[in-house]
Chains A and B, each alone.
Chain A
């Protein structure tokens, strides 16, 4: 299956691109996708996963919704899904 990947801020810097389309195994989980990205981009190694869990230094959205509202790192993705990876989103100044 093909996923649309969007990268923001420091994650984008590490990858060197803002978007990518990439093939994954049908039914791949968020964990598998993050692991593959860590393998594909050396600058990301150790930054997306903390053991088996999503690293606290990133936020992962599936079609704009935080993956904690699905099954978290176990969320199974489907063809055409958009996965956005960003540093944690904080509350803004003012």
Chain B
């Protein structure tokens, strides 16, 4: 057992009580560092310890834990991510959403590995974090401001320009749109913690922004992490060439080519090449990209800015691939300038483009099938680009039909007869772009994912390379081990693209070497993968205690289990209920979970989770 905390850790957790403004500093137990590593793992432990199992996600008993990893602010490549951990108002379960930029590095230098916001401020406020602690600053003047405006206003109030690193919510967060996000605007790129409704949680706490000022802590890796990172640089740059040139938007064309890119609320999964081309990374790069942007300590520079003169848009964040799925192909909207406008609005208003887009597409199919009509909204025709833009503002402000969209597709479906068959998501969260029908690993991965509809539990990357995309053989184990990989990566807070491009798409020796160089530990690959497995099981324990994780919850939507892809290269693919049942049995057995999908006592003991199992 580790006796002391490695000097790569700042060593403390900062608790901020929003109602009183009081703060407490808690030392990090070295054994917790060894068990949970940081980031995702640390955030999950805070949620397990501090959020009662019956707490309302939008009530004061929820927490928002902002965590960094052991290698933030070290030479280890692209450990520039931060993690927000909370109970989601979408899923009512544990959620972690990550973001890039410069704030996570700044937080690391304060010495606080985790900042935990408790309770609820009496008035609209922002939280100032620095190496001596934090203050809760009343800031009523920020009410109603967009995300970028809020970041700027807080920077001006603090008076240190971009040396104040700000994460902010927009009107959607203040209005508790259930999938409201938060946005960090740094000097070198934006970072969006997109999913799960973290912006709504902050809004419910009356927190408009978190502002971090750099401190003096310098993490000290035990070994030569810089040299080890340099060794991976060639592989990293070669394998991320498309991201460097086109960002994630470069995925539109090839995934459409595979016939696995949802259109018309997933009624079909391929469009004409001309339509895909119209909203592709190639077109964005040729006609709209004005500059590359990057997170701290990253050579890949996958971020881009776009400008659209006709829309009055200058240097907006490029729509990511997932956003192009949600706001373009799923809507059958191929007017890229209107799509950019809708995305820019979502960023400014502070809404997750995936959940919002899938929810709008769901509503549009309900309209097509006669469950909604023009009295509900005049903007519900597939292909209506102008209507899409209108709906963004209505949703963020909860005006008219936007108030229903703001609840997400699952809550809308509960209010409409026969609408559940048009849902595309799991556990209350809309799916990302990677086909639940066309990729078998995603079928079981989404069904068992802590977050439901996230593509950062089980990853699609290896599946697009022909592994576990068309077969169920060995796929449950693959999905589980991919979940270990993502939980480990989010605990390291390393950017997924850099992990997958430079270090490995599953947990492998490279990661063990880097972690050992950083910490001085002597972990083998199995022990490192076990960290990811432990974190994933901790998340499952939280969700089981909240009643949102069991065999009944581990399911897929009607269309995915009953309607094969109708045409294209992936024609005939789906995941019928008996296939899902079979994969679930294999998955639970691999994990050491009982027939109801809960970790057994032996599994809890094997993963050294007895204390947190008791806490939840």
Interfacial residues, chain A to chain B (CB-CB below 8 A): 6, 8-10, 12-13, 18, 56-57, 59, 61, 63-66, 68-69, 84, 86-94
Looking at B104-112, B153-161, B252-260, the stretch in contact with chain A turns out to be B252-260
A71 to B446 CA separation, bound complex (whole angstroms) = 30
Contacts A61-B258, A64-B258, A88-B242 given; does A93 touch B253 at CB 8 Å: no
A61 to B256 CA separation, bound complex (whole angstroms) = 12
**Which label, helix, strand, loop or mixed, suits the secondary structure of the B interface?**
helix
Which of chain B's residues have a CB closer than 8 A to the CB of A9? 242, 245-246, 250, 253-254, 281-282
Contact A8 B354 (CB under 8 A): no
Which of chain B's residues have a CB closer than 8 A to the CB of A64? 257-259, 270, 568-570
Give A82's nearest chain B residue, CB to CB: B257
Contact A84 B257 (CB under 8 A): yes
Contact A86 B433 (CB under 8 A): no
Which of chain A's residues have a CB closer than 8 A to the CB of B277? 18
Which of chain A's residues have a CB closer than 8 A to the CB of B195? 94
Give B280's nearest chain A residue, CB to CB: A8
Contacts A64-B258, A86-B253 given; does A10 touch B455 at CB 8 Å: no
Which of chain A's residues have a CB closer than 8 A to the CB of B239? 56-57, 88
Contact B282 A88 (CB under 8 A): no
How far does the Cβ of A84 sit from chain B's closest Cβ, in whole Å? 5
Which residues of B293-349 are within 8 A (CB) of A? 302, 320-322
The 26 listed contacts between A and B (C-beta, < 8 Å) are A6-B257, A8-B254, A8-B257, A10-B242, A10-B245, A13-B245, A57-B241, A59-B465, A64-B258, A66-B465, A66-B469, A86-B257, A87-B241, A87-B250, A89-B251, A89-B255, A89-B258, A89-B461, A90-B461, A90-B464, A90-B497, A92-B433, A93-B496, A93-B497, A94-B322, A94-B354
Does B194 lie at the interface of the complex (its beta carbon under 8 Å from any beta carbon of A)?
Answer: yes
Contact B322 A92 (CB under 8 A): yes
Contact B500 A90 (CB under 8 A): yes
How far does the Cβ of B536 sit from chain A's closest Cβ, in whole Å? 17
Which of chain A's residues have a CB closer than 8 A to the CB of B469? 66
Out of B194, B259, B455, B568, which one reaches A91, CB within 8 Å? B455
Does B454 lie at the interface of the complex (its beta carbon under 8 Å from any beta carbon of A)?
Answer: yes
**A-B contacts besides A8-B250, A59-B254, 13 pairs, CB < 8 Å:** A8-B282, A9-B282, A10-B242, A18-B277, A57-B239, A65-B258, A66-B465, A87-B242, A89-B255, A90-B497, A93-B322, A93-B497, A94-B320
Contact B434 A92 (CB under 8 A): yes
Interfacial residues, chain B to chain A (CB-CB below 8 A): 194-195, 238-239, 241-243, 245-246, 248, 250-251, 253-255, 257-259, 270, 273, 277, 281-282, 302, 320-322, 354, 432-434, 454-456, 459-461, 464-466, 469-470, 496-497, 500-501, 568-570
A57 to B240 CA separation, bound complex (whole angstroms) = 9
Which of chain A's residues have a CB closer than 8 A to the CB of B354? 94
Which of chain A's residues have a CB closer than 8 A to the CB of B250? 8-9, 87
Contact B465 A89 (CB under 8 A): yes
Contact A91 B470 (CB under 8 A): no
A78 to B273 CA separation, bound complex (whole angstroms) = 22
How far does the Cβ of B481 sit from chain A's closest Cβ, in whole Å? 15
Which of chain B's residues have a CB closer than 8 A to the CB of A87? 241-242, 250
How far does the Cβ of B113 sit from chain A's closest Cβ, in whole Å? 24
Contacts A6-B257, A9-B250, A59-B464 given; does A94 touch B455 at CB 8 Å: yes
Contact B500 A91 (CB under 8 A): yes
Contact A90 B251 (CB under 8 A): yes
Which of chain B's residues have a CB closer than 8 A to the CB of A92? 248, 251, 320-322, 432-434, 455, 460
A18 to B254 CA separation, bound complex (whole angstroms) = 12
Which of chain A's residues have a CB closer than 8 A to the CB of B251? 89-90, 92
Give A67's nearest chain B residue, CB to CB: B466
Out of A57, A84, A93, which one reaches B254, CB within 8 Å? A84
Which of chain B's residues have a CB closer than 8 A to the CB of A69? 466, 470
Which of chain B's residues have a CB closer than 8 A to the CB of A94? 194-195, 320, 322, 354, 432, 454-456
A20 to B496 CA separation, bound complex (whole angstroms) = 34
A18 to B274 CA separation, bound complex (whole angstroms) = 11
Contacts A57-B238, A69-B466 given; does A93 touch B282 at CB 8 Å: no
A66 to B281 CA separation, bound complex (whole angstroms) = 21
Which of chain A's residues have a CB closer than 8 A to the CB of B456? 94
A69 to B253 CA separation, bound complex (whole angstroms) = 20
Which of chain A's residues have a CB closer than 8 A to the CB of B432? 92, 94
